[in-house]
C-alpha cells in the first residue's frame, strides 16, 4: 500500500510512455539522493505505482525533468545543424557522385527521424514535468494554507486563553467584592 502522502499515478492520466518516463525520473532522483529515507520512500512508491507528494521529491523530479528537457533541446539543436549540413550537401549534387548523393540523402533522412523522436521525447517529458510542477504548486499551496490555519488556531487559542484568564480574574474580583460586601453588612 502506498504511503499516505503518495498519489496513484493512475490518477494522473498518463500514457504508458509518460508513465515509463515518470518512473525513470523517480528512479534517477532516488539514485542521486544516495538512498536517503526520502529517496527510498520515492522508490517504494514508484514500485507500487505511486508518486510521492512531498515538496522535496516533487522539486527533485521537476529539476530532473528540466535537465532532461535541456539535454533533449541540445540534441535537437545539434541534429538540426547536422540536418542543415546534410541538406546543403544533397543540394550540391553536381559535385557528388550518385552513391555519395544517396548516402547524404539517407543521412538526412536518418537525422530527421532522430529529430522526430527527440521532439516526441521532449513533448512527453514536458507533459510529465508539467504534471510534477502542478502537483508541487498544489502541495505548496496546501502547506501555506495549513500554516495559515495553524497560525490562526494558535492566535485564536492565545486570545481565548487570555480572555478566559481575564474573565476568571473578573469573576474572582466580583466574588471578593460580594464577599467583602457581605462582611460590610
**pTM above the 0.75 mark?**
no
Q: What residues contact residue 80 under an 8 Å CB cut-off, 6+ apart?
A: 115
Residues 59 and 36: their CA atoms lie apart, in Å, by: 15
pLDDT, one tens digit per residue, over 10-25 is 777 888 888 888 888 8
Neighbours of 124 (CB within 10 A): 19
pLDDT, one tens digit per residue, over 117-167 is 999 999 999 999 998 899 889 888 988 998 999 888 888 777 766 554 554
pLDDT, one tens digit per residue, over 18-74 is 888 888 888 888 887 765 666 566 666 666 767 776 788 888 888 999 999 999 999
Amino acid at each position: 500500500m502506498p504511503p499516505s502522502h503518495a498519489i496513484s499515478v493512475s490518477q494522473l492520466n498518463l500514457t504508458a510512455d509518460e508513465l515509463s518516463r515518470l518512473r525513470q525520473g523517480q528512479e534517477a532522483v532516488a539514485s542521486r539522493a544516495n538512498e536517503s529515507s526520502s529517496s527510498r520512500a520515492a522508490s517504494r512508491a514508484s514500485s507500487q505505482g505511486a508518486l510521492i507528494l512531498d515538496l522535496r521529491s516533487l522539486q527533485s523530479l521537476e529539476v530532473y525533468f528540466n535537465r532532461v528537457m535541456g539535454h533533449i533541446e541540445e540534441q535537437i539543436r545539434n541534429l538540426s545543424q547536422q540536418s542543415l549540413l546534410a541538406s546543403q550537401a544533397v543540394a550540391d549534387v553536381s559535385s557528388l557522385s550518385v552513391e555519395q548523393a544517396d548516402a547524404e540523402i539517407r543521412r538526412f533522412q536518418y537525422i530527421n527521424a532522430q529529430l522526430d523522436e527527440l521532439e516526441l521525447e521532449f513533448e512527453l517529458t514536458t507533459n510529465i514535468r508539467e504534471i510534477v510542477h502542478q502537483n508541487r504548486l498544489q502541495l505548496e499551496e496546501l502547506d501555506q494554507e495549513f500554516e495559515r490555519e495553524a497560525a490562526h488556531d494558535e492566535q485564536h487559542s492565545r486570545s481565548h486563553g487570555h480572555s478566559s484568564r481575564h474573565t476568571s480574574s473578573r469573576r474572582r474580583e466580583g466574588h471578593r467584592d460580594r464577599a467583602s460586601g457581605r462582611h460590610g453588612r
